[in-house]
Amino acid sequence: MSVETWTYIIVSITFAVYIYIGYWARVRDTQGFYVAGRGVHPIANGAATAADWMSAASFISMAGLISTLGYDGAVYLMGWTGGYVLLALLLAPYLRKFGKYTVPDFVGDRYYSQTARLIAAIAAIFISFVYVAGQVRGVGIVFSRFVGVDIATGVIIGVAVVGFFAIIGGMKGVTYTQVAQYVVLIIAYAIPAFAISSVLTGNPIPQMGFTFSDLMPKLNQIHQDLGFAAYTASTKPMIDVFCITMALMVGTAGLPHIIVRFYTVPNVKDARISAGWALLFIALLYTTAPALASFARYNLIQTLNGKSLEEVRAIPWVAKWEKTRLLQFTDKDGDGRITFAPGRAFNLKSGRPDFTSPNPASRNEVYFDNDIIVLSTPEVAGLAPWIIALVAAGGLAAAMSTASGLLLVVSSSVAHDIYYRLINPGASEAQRLLVGRVMIGVAVVIAAYFGVNPPGFVAQVVAFAFGLAASSFFPIIVLGIFDKRMNSQGAIAGMLTGLIFTTVMILLMKSDVLFGQAAPALPNWFGISAEGIGTVGMVLNFVVAWVVSRATAAPPETVQHMVEDLRIPRGAGAASAHD
């Protein structure tokens, strides 16, 4: 059978499973809708957290970035991995002990301010929509290549399935669907990695083959022969590497759709256990990504460089990916052969290649979108059609699992934190549930729009969401837990400062991508790129929040006692008794 037939079969089966689980897990109360009734087993929650965390950016785009950027792409791996450790050790147990539904819930109650709650809710919605843009783009890419439908149709199918199990099942439906999606995505990621490692290195374990074979020296030499820097060499300024890594780390710890996962377990002890399981499940993919990225880079160069256009276009996978316009060639020197070299193969406008205006300043004649590296690797390596289809299903699982968590954050922020807490505190259980479900439907429509009109490649867009989370939520949550002197004025000033600064800087640094300008209005800020500017926003948030809180009245005594009680390690049993 063909790849497309296998894809139809595997994707149809997995979608049917997701829909069945969503129907099985349907809920009729707000606690089930927002926190899955607080009854999720820690191992299941660990798998769901891993799936929620390993989005299309992790599955589709992270290995693509490492493959293209080499050593510099590893900042995404370091930042996202380290960030989860930070979240699990520093924040998750305390937030679970606090026992609320959402991050804005924590901010509103800890800082005894409806204004702070509103700002946190708006920030959560903003961050979630920035993040979800990357997920639905991943859905569109998979459908456009492997199912034979256009991107718009593929996005609509994907968000419709997500919307179904999120609307009827809420957090409970999302959680158990994510468990199934984790199984799909990790199998889909591991099988081609093991197969390609065995072929290229003679060792079927990709981590071992990547580390102990001669592949990396050969890849370094090939890179240098073609005019690139060595694959293992860094080209970014160290301050930018540090800032990107830090922004991704603290952004992880501030992401509302990850934090809320720790509200779904019965008690604090289970929150810690589920964090450990999640870290193990995440490590299975994250330790494989650098190996898969290197294998993909080596195979791509060997397959494409120096071949004639006729030879290249005769390769089945090349012809199919070229139709998506995510892979394109241009013969600049007229020799009829493809040259893989540094630089852009095409002039870029609004972040997309301009196929009618080749750039004569560059020898590079290949445009290869980062987001198709993982999806195309099994085809490049000549693996069986069912493995290629399985990878497509894994990419969809990764994108949809995270999208469902993000849509639920949007829903809870509007229905619980704004409608119930601020507009209609007397709303009945049925009214709150109805508003929550309607808001998921609205969010699905907005997400579909972003999927059809993507703002950039997946990992880049997601990195911006992390920067916004780093500059808005992380400082306020940390100070809310560990500084009883922090007051509402400091929290509001800090959040606004961090969020506004980071948003404005990203818009200036990416004005060429976002607004179609020839060059960004601000290329960098003292050597720090848009992906790392969230670190500066975080520092500003910390400083402003601390200064303003010390210049204004202390919080009420009841709030200070609540903070002290939150930090006292009285044991999981005692802590659970206060849920």
- pLDDT tens digits for the chain (579 residues)? 888 888 889 988 988 888 888 888 888 888 888 778 888 899 999 998 888 777 776 777 778 888 888 888 888 888 877 887 787 777 877 877 887 767 888 899 999 999 999 998 888 888 888 777 767 777 777 777 777 677 778 788 878 888 887 888 888 888 888 899 899 889 988 888 999 999 889 899 999 988 888 889 999 998 888 888 888 888 888 999 999 999 988 888 777 777 778 888 888 888 888 888 988 898 888 889 889 889 888 888 888 888 888 888 888 888 888 877 778 888 777 788 888 888 777 665 544 444 455 555 567 888 887 777 888 888 888 888 898 888 888 888 887 877 888 888 888 888 888 998 889 988 888 888 889 889 888 888 888 887 777 655 555 566 677 788 889 889 999 999 999 999 999 999 999 999 999 989 988 887 776 666 667 888 889 999 888 999 999 999 999 999 999 999 999 999 999 888 887 654 444 444 444
Task: Count other Cβ atoms within 10 Å, centred on residue 265.
Answer: 28
Which CATH number do you get for residue 399?
1.20.1730.10
Three-class SS state of 342: coil
Q: 396: which 2 tokens?
A: 């969809």
Q: Determine which helix (DSSP H) or strand (DSSP E) holds 92, and give its type and residue range.
A: helix 92-98
State the burial class of residue 405 (Cβ atoms within 10 Å of its Cβ: 0-12, 13-18, 19+). Answer: buried
Residue 341 lies in a domain: no
Range of the domain at 287: 3-296+379-576
Residue 510 lies in a domain: yes
In this structure, the number of other CB atoms found within 10 A of the CB of residue 194 comes to: 17
Per the domain annotation, does 115 fall within a domain?
Answer: yes
Q: Which residue has the tokens 């837990």?
A: 481
Place of tokens 């493809």: 338
Q: Which DSSP letter does residue 518 get? A: S
Beta carbons of 457 and 369 less than 8 angstroms apart: yes
Four-CA torsion 126, 127, 129, 132, nearest 10 degrees = 180
Q: How far apart are CA 106 and CA 87, in angstroms?
A: 16
Amino acid occupying residue 18: Y
- Plot region of 329 (φ>0 → left; ψ -120 to 50 → alpha; else → beta): beta
Q: Determine, yes or no, domain membership for 212.
A: yes
Partners of 204 in beta bridges: none
DSSP assignment letter at 37: G
Reduce the DSSP state of residue 555 to 3 states and report it.
Answer: coil
pLDDT at site 463: 62
* 367 assigned to some structural domain: no
What pLDDT is stored for residue 82 in this prediction? 81
Please state the domain count of the chain. Answer: 1
Taking the alpha carbons at both ends of the chain, their separation in whole angstroms is: 54
Whether residue 72 lies inside any domain: the answer is yes
CB 461 within 8 A of CB 450: no
pTM: predicted TM-score of the whole model, two decimal places:
0.80
- Single out the residue of 56, 68, 58 nearest to residue 283, CA to CA: 58
Number of residues written out for the chain? 579
CB 407 within 8 Å of CB 167:
no
Residue 78 in any domain: the answer is yes
Rounded distance between C-alpha atoms, residue 467 and residue 253, angstroms = 11
Q: Residue 427 in contact with residue 434, Cβ under 8 Å?
A: no
Does 346 fall in a domain? no
Question: CB–CB of 490/114 below 8 Å?
Answer: no
